[in-house]
Amino acid sequence: MTDRYAVFGHPVAHSKSPQIHAAFGRQEGISLDYRSIDLAPDAFLAGLEAFASEGGVGANVTSPHKEAAFSVCTTLTARARRAGSVNTLLRKGDRWHGDTTDGIGLVRDLTDRHSLDLRGRRVLLLGAGGSARSVAPALLDAGITELVVVNRTPERADELIDAMGEPGRALSRYWDDLRDLGDFELILNATSAGRDRDAEFKLPLSLVNSMTTAVDLNYGEAAIAFLAWARAAQCRNTVDGLGMLVEQAAESFLQWHAVRPQTDEVYQQLRAGADAFAGQD
């Protein structure tokens, strides 16, 4: 009987996760049923339990459900507990075990695929929701000098920083203070603002220096607005979230199947498709 897996989100029809996991399964000779399930926030918990009752054994969780997924887990990895956010669920008996693989996926993509050295870097993180919480611990563990979190709701940024437990390196600031924060070697967008087709990022150019890399944790159309600002601001490098998506998926696959698949070929196939899409009218 084929094991059932899914990615939960809202919206989620755009997700490449079913395609990625199908490719990983073929690569490793593992038969699996992986689908996308769109649930509004108020339907997530019931939908997740229905999935489990129908034989679901593992799931990925994307926006806006990562913090809700954290709340349903009986056991958690240390990094998920620190982040307060879960994107990978594994069924153990009648309970859920939770992990967050976004952070390690992001760091692996930036350091291995894009050859970026994160050590000693000053980092600006825009947003304080589930996606931001999931990558913040891994960035600190990668050796960055300072993490500054800015969110339109300051209390959320404060909560994220408090959870990190590193007051000397992790700081929260107000959105209105962006012009006064100085410059950063790495700027990450973990907001969902770019999902609005008419979105336009207006960030101070003073945030950018000659070494700045701009990263959007989103990919596809949702990353266009922020990366357009980054190119206009002459950031040295611009990176979308496609590589992180593939790398975090590989970490989830490892937990479910006890083998880590190769990611480069899958990433290149997706990138070719994304570039072809971007070139269409």
Can you say which residues are annotated as belonging to the binding site for NADP(+)? 127-131, 151-156, 217, 241
Cβ(119)–Cβ(86) below 8 Å: no
Can you say which residues are annotated as belonging to the binding site? 15-17, 62, 87, 102, 127-131, 151-156, 217, 219, 241, 248
Alpha helices (H) along 73-123: 78-83, 102-108
Alpha helices (H) along 34-126: 44-53, 66-72, 78-83, 102-108
Instruction: Please measure the distance between the N-terminal and C-terminal CA atoms of the chain and give it in whole angstroms.
Output: 43
CA geometry: angle at 126 spanning 175 and 58, to 5°? Answer: 140
Q: Does the annotation mark 92 as catalytic? A: no
Backbone phi and psi for residue 232, each to the nearest 5 degrees, phi listed first: -65, -30
Q: Which of 21, 65, 66, 122 is catalytic?
A: 66
Backbone phi and psi for residue 126, each to the nearest 5 degrees, phi listed first: -95, 115
Can you say which residues are annotated as belonging to the binding site for shikimate? 15-17, 62, 87, 102, 219, 248
**In 3D, which of 244, 6, 237, 240 has the Cα closest to residue 116?**
237
Structure tokens at 172: 């929260």
Cβ(226)–Cβ(216) below 8 Å: yes
**Residues constituting the chain:** 281
Measured CA to CA in angstroms, residue 21 lies from 39, 53, 58, 185, 238 at distances of: 20, 22, 12, 33, 26
Q: Which residues are the active-site residues?
A: 66
